[in-house]
Amino acid sequence: MASYAGLPFAEQIEGDFYRVYFTSRDAFNRSHVGWVEIDINRPERILRLSETPILSPGEPGSFDDAGTTLSCVVRHGERRHFYYIGWSLRRSVPYHLAIGLAFASGDTAAPTLNRLSGPIIDRNRIDPLFCTAPFVMFEDGRWRAWYVSGLGWVNAGGEAVPSYNTRYAESNDGVDWNRTGLVVRDPQGDELGFSRPSILFERGAYHMWCSVRGRSQPYRLEYARSQDGLVWTRNDGGASLETSASGWDSEMIAYPHVFDHGGDRYMLYCGNGYGKTGFGIAVMT
């Protein structure tokens, strides 16, 4: 944990106690996944911190040999599914991204992960550039995923940065996915793309929070609503959290994870520098 604390994702352990998974970087700038445990009523107090990573870069030549970033966790039966982003380096562009999967037991213990060999969602004829940042739900006997697909690399401020949209896929087992190329969100205007979404189903509708960035704008929070999870209506004014006037989140709101507890709605999110200043928590009032 030499730097960063990015892409937080909360898992309830018991009662008010949560384990928050996050991604940090080592001295060689490679990402690893760890966790911290908190009482949701006093989240600023650290109860326990992982001493070793639960996910680290893979073997040389593998799709995740340059880093691993957790995207989401799904409990299903006797197992927990840990969907993560695998990083590998390239010559023509800075890096390549693909989606991997690891398993742990379904109890609430700090997980020991067993990862599948190779990616479960990678570039193909449907997604020709890269795939990353999934949010996965198991619903009515089917697995549903909203993931980020690459559109290309553009020059922004003198460096090559990726552009992407959000797409949808389904699966019978959470491992092998049927992709049709269905786009559920496209960049508009100056936008370059979206972060991992966070989705809740409530009162007959789906609610999505994600962050969106542009050529000249760092990540900002955005909200959208859908009746079926496929056709979404954006409501840029419904996100309800702006950057602070100063401090750790004064430039950026990134990588939200929204969840409900005890009648309240919480959101974990990263601040400036894509998690370089860490992550915090907000409560809807």
Write out the residue range of the structural domain in which residue 248 sits: 3-103+114-283
Q: Give the CATH number, domain containing residue 43.
A: 2.115.10.20
Looking at the domain assignment, is residue 109 inside a domain?
A: no
pLDDT at site 237: 65
Task: Please state, in angstroms and rounded to a whole number, the distance separating the CA atoms of residues 110 and 21.
Answer: 10
Q: What is the pTM of this model?
A: 0.96
Spacing of C-alpha 116 from chain mean position: 19
pLDDT along the chain (285 residues), means of 10: 97 97 97 98 95 96 98 95 98 96 92 95 97 97 97 88 96 97 95 96 95 92 96 81 95 97 96 96 92
Overall number of domains in the chain:
1
The beta-strand segments (E) located in the chain are 3-14, 17-25, 31-39, 48-49, 67-76, 79-89, 95-105, 114-115, 131-139, 142-156, 159-171, 177-185, 191-194, 198-202, 205-214, 220-226, 232-234, 254-261, 264-270, 279-283
The three-class DSSP label of residue 227 is coil
Classify residue 118: in a domain, yes or no.
yes
**What pLDDT score was predicted for residue 187?**
94
Check residue 121 and give its pLDDT.
98
Contact status, residue 57 vs residue 65, Cβ threshold 8 Å: yes
Q: Is residue 256 part of a domain?
A: yes
